[in-house]
Every structure is written in structure tokens, then in C-alpha cells.
Amino acid sequence: MTVREIKPGNRGFLYVNCHPQGCADVVDDLWRRTPGPVAAAEEAAAEEAAAETGAGAGTGSGAGSGAGAGTGSERPVALIIGSSAGYGLAATVGALRTYGMRGLGIAFEAPETERRTASAGWYRTARVAELAGAGSGFAFLNADAFSAGAKQRALDHLAERYGRVDHVLYSVAAPRRTDPATGEVHHSVIKPLGSAYRAKTLQYEGDTPTVGALELEPATEAERAATEQVMGGADWELWIEALLERGLVGEGFRTAALSYVGSELTAPIYRAGTIGAAKQHLEDTARRLHARLAPLGGQAHTVVAGAAVTQASTAIPSIALYTGLLRAVLGDGFRSTADQAADLWRQLTGAAPLRLDAEQRVRLDGWELDPKVQEEVHARWAAADPGSVAGLADTEWFRAEVGRLYGWHVPGTDYTTPVETTVPWPNGS
């Protein structure tokens, strides 16, 4: 056991150390924001009643569950790949709190060392497991999801305990991937395609927000292909094929991979860049998997989520400024990952119909891409400069949200006293 006084040690949006209690408090807040089974059932019933009276299915953020969610031996079984951060974390909390799902979450997190705390995802996972309780039937595996070994261990666990999987959520963001078949290491890059990209970025000079400019040269074909291999659908497809080979997929199986489209403002570096090429690969994979699963009564879709402050998104140029502007426009209408995960689970469990676009993607981002919202964000983007950005974008909110990713800037957390940093990984996995 190690009690330490911890300092953030951050450089911009990157933090060297994480605060264990702050990370736990972030999970507690997420848990409180996620509907429990009673609230979910009531909301599902209200939506069904509205549909019967001709009001149509709701598109709100509430989470709903089918009858008896979270009870009995037939609780759904979920495999959540990327369960320790962002949408994967929110989906894991929703699976446990709202639906009482059994299953397995997979994350690749760093343990504590003599010089540094464990990673934020390590502490968040430990707290999620504590809140779920020892009898939840949900375990956590700390492993590289890209590896064949992780797949073997995960599928052995699921086969031995449940014999089936009802839901697979894939929410992985990583800088590199080793191809398990060839051993080749692919590195992802964040670059435009075709031509150089120059745009505004949100920066901080000390505590003062300012606007800078960034220029990136276009990616090579090799960089585009490597990014597809890391962030596209190759690994997701390997997971589903492995489940099929083990006979763990049955009637009603649904799998979804998280994606993003975003605004025209960020398109050159995102949707029209190397990341966008990877997302297109992910969507092409979804269509192929859907055709593979349909004869078995299964489905596969990508999920277009709305904007969020995540460890992955803060690495993308211009996203910080865009997200701060979006938050200033929407205020409390900015939907959290908890809101969006609740909406997604309603659709995946059948409590609400799947809302699919023309490309068969589940859409959760209507609140962000509303034309009136985007018109105002575009106007603020054009006007933003070092002197005006603090009044146009919610820069304090954004900075606090980045800190929360590492357990800092969490209201109610005591940062003045030493804290226990040695926290065991749950389930001994």
C-alpha cells in the first residue's frame, strides 16, 4: 500500500499523474447520472405508450430496459472492448446499473510504478467493479485487445460462465496495433488527406485560453493504410469471427462499434483525414459483419456518437476549440457520454427502435448537428481569436473536463492530503 501526495504534472492537455480518488469520484458521478432499472423501465413504458397513441418513439437521452432487466439468471451478457474510458466506460456503467448485465470488460491500463500513479482507467475500472458489487457477474480483463491472447482469455471466460454473448460493444482508440497474423506494428497518424491542413486551435498560456494556428502536411498512402489498420474495423472483425468460431453468437446478437462524423469545421482533419478513412473502413466492416450475422438473427452497426471530451479526442487538432464552442452554444444541452450511452443501450436492447441513417449507422448526434446549432458554432469559429475566445467558447468547462479525465478538477475531491495510490485490479485478472 502506498500513500502519496500527488501533483498533476500536466503539460497542456496531457497529465503525468492521475488522482485515484478523483477518478473514483468521476465514476460515482457517472453512476448517479445513469438511470437505474426502475427509472429505465418507467421511461420505456412511457415511450411505448407514446408510440401507441401516435406520438412516435422518443429520441431522448433516457435509458430503458426490457422487462425484468437486471434480474434472474437470464440477464444479458455483454462484452465491452474498451471499457475504461469515454463511451466504453459510460456503456459499461449503463450495462451494469441499468440492465444488470453479466459479462466482461476489456481495457489496457498501466499499473502504478515508483515514479507514477496507475493510469486513470485503472482507477476508474476498480471503482466501477466496486459499485457493481462482487455478485454482479461482470469481470474486467486488463489486456491488449488487439492481441490473440486477449481474445483467447476473454472467450474462454465467456464460454465457461455464460455460453453465449448478447452484445459486443467495440470502443477502442489506440496509437498503434500489432497485427496478430503478421506481427507487423501499425502506427496511426492524425493528418489530412490530399492537401495540407491549417486551422485554429485552442491553447492555454498558463491559465489563459488563446487561439493558435496549426498546419499539418497531408498523410502518405502508407500512413493512411496504417491508420486504417489501427482504428478501422480489422480488429473488431477478428473479435466477431472468434465469437462465431466458438459458437458464442446466437439469435438476437447485436454488435456495435463507436464512430464519429462531426462538423464541417473539423472535417478536413477528421472525417476527410486519416481518421475519417479509418472510420469509413469501420463502417464498411459493419456492413460486411451485418451480412455475416443476419442469417443467424444477429446485427452489426457502427454508432455515430456526438462530440465529447475524451483522452482520444483531445489529441485531435481543432477538436478542443470546436468542442468548447459547441458547449458554449448548447450549455446544458450538451449531451454527456452517459446520456448517449443510455440512448444507445435503449436501442440495442430493443427498448426503443434502432434509429438508422441511410448508411445503416445508429445516430446519436442529432443534438450536435442540428442546423441552428451548427450555424452558431460556425459564426463563433469565424470570430474566435486570442482576444475573444474566452467569451465565445466555454474554455473553463473544457479545461476542467480534460482534468477530469485524469481525476483532477473534480468537485468535492480533496486534493490537499496524501491519498492511497495502490489499488488492485478487480477480479484478479
Q: What is the DSSP string of 311-333?
A: TTGGGSTTHHHHHHHHHHHHGGG
Give the rounded distance of the alpha carbon of 75 from its chain centre: 23
Is 100 inside a domain boundary? yes
Q: What is the DSSP letter of 293?
A: H
Q: Cα separation of 412 and 29, whole Å?
A: 11
Q: Cα separation of 249 and 329, whole Å?
A: 43
How far is CA 273 from each of CA 227, 248, 317, rounded to the nearest angstrom? Answer: 10, 36, 12
Lowest average pLDDT, out of 238-242, 266-270, 365-369, goes to: 266-270
Residues involved in catalysis: 270
71: Cα within 13 Å, side-chain hemisphere:
9
Mean pLDDT, to the nearest integer, of 283-287?
Answer: 97
Q: Residue 388: its pLDDT value, please? A: 96
Reported as a single tens digit per residue, the pLDDT across 401-418 is 999 999 999 999 999 999
pLDDT at 233 over 90: yes
Is 73 inside a domain boundary? yes
**CA-based diameter of the chain, in Å?**
62
Give the residue numbers spanning the domain of 51.
30-194+222-306+332-358
Q: Residue 71: its pLDDT value, please? A: 37
Is 201 inside a domain boundary? no
Element holding 420 (H helix, E strand)? strand 419-420
Q: Residue 315: its pLDDT value, please? A: 82
Contact 360, 287 (CB under 8 A): yes
Identify the CATH number of the domain in which residue 47 sits.
3.40.50.720
Is 427 inside a domain boundary? no
Q: What is the DSSP letter of 143?
A: S
Cell numbers given for 21:
480518488
Q: What is the SS3 assignment for 105-139?
A: EEECCCCCCCCCCCCHHHHHHHHHHHHHCCCCCEE
41: how many CB neighbours lie within 10 A of its CB? 20
User: SS3 for 176?
Assistant: strand
Per-chain mean pLDDT for the chain: 91
Is 287 inside a domain boundary? yes
Reported as a single tens digit per residue, the pLDDT across 300-313 is 999 999 999 998 88
Q: E strands, 234-361, where?
A: 249-260, 299-305
Q: Residue 363: its pLDDT value, please? A: 97
Q: 167 forms bridges with which residues in the sheet?
A: 78, 254
User: For the chain, what is the domain count?
Assistant: 1
Confidence tier at 171 by pLDDT (50, 70, 90): very high
Q: Residue 206: its pLDDT value, please? A: 81
Is 405 inside a domain boundary? no
Q: Residue 43: its pLDDT value, please? A: 64
Lowest average pLDDT, out of 44-48, 105-109, 235-239, 318-322, goes to: 44-48
Q: Residue 1: its pLDDT value, please? A: 66
pLDDT at 226 over 90: yes
Instruction: State how beta strands 176-178 and 185-187 pair.
Output: antiparallel
52: Cα within 13 Å, side-chain hemisphere:
6
Q: Residue 312: its pLDDT value, please? A: 82
Reported as a single tens digit per residue, the pLDDT across 31-87 is 999 999 866 666 666 656 655 554 433 333 333 333 333 334 589 999 999 999 999
Q: Residue 64: its pLDDT value, please? A: 33
Is 269 inside a domain boundary? yes
Is 240 inside a domain boundary? yes
Confidence tier at 279 by pLDDT (50, 70, 90): very high
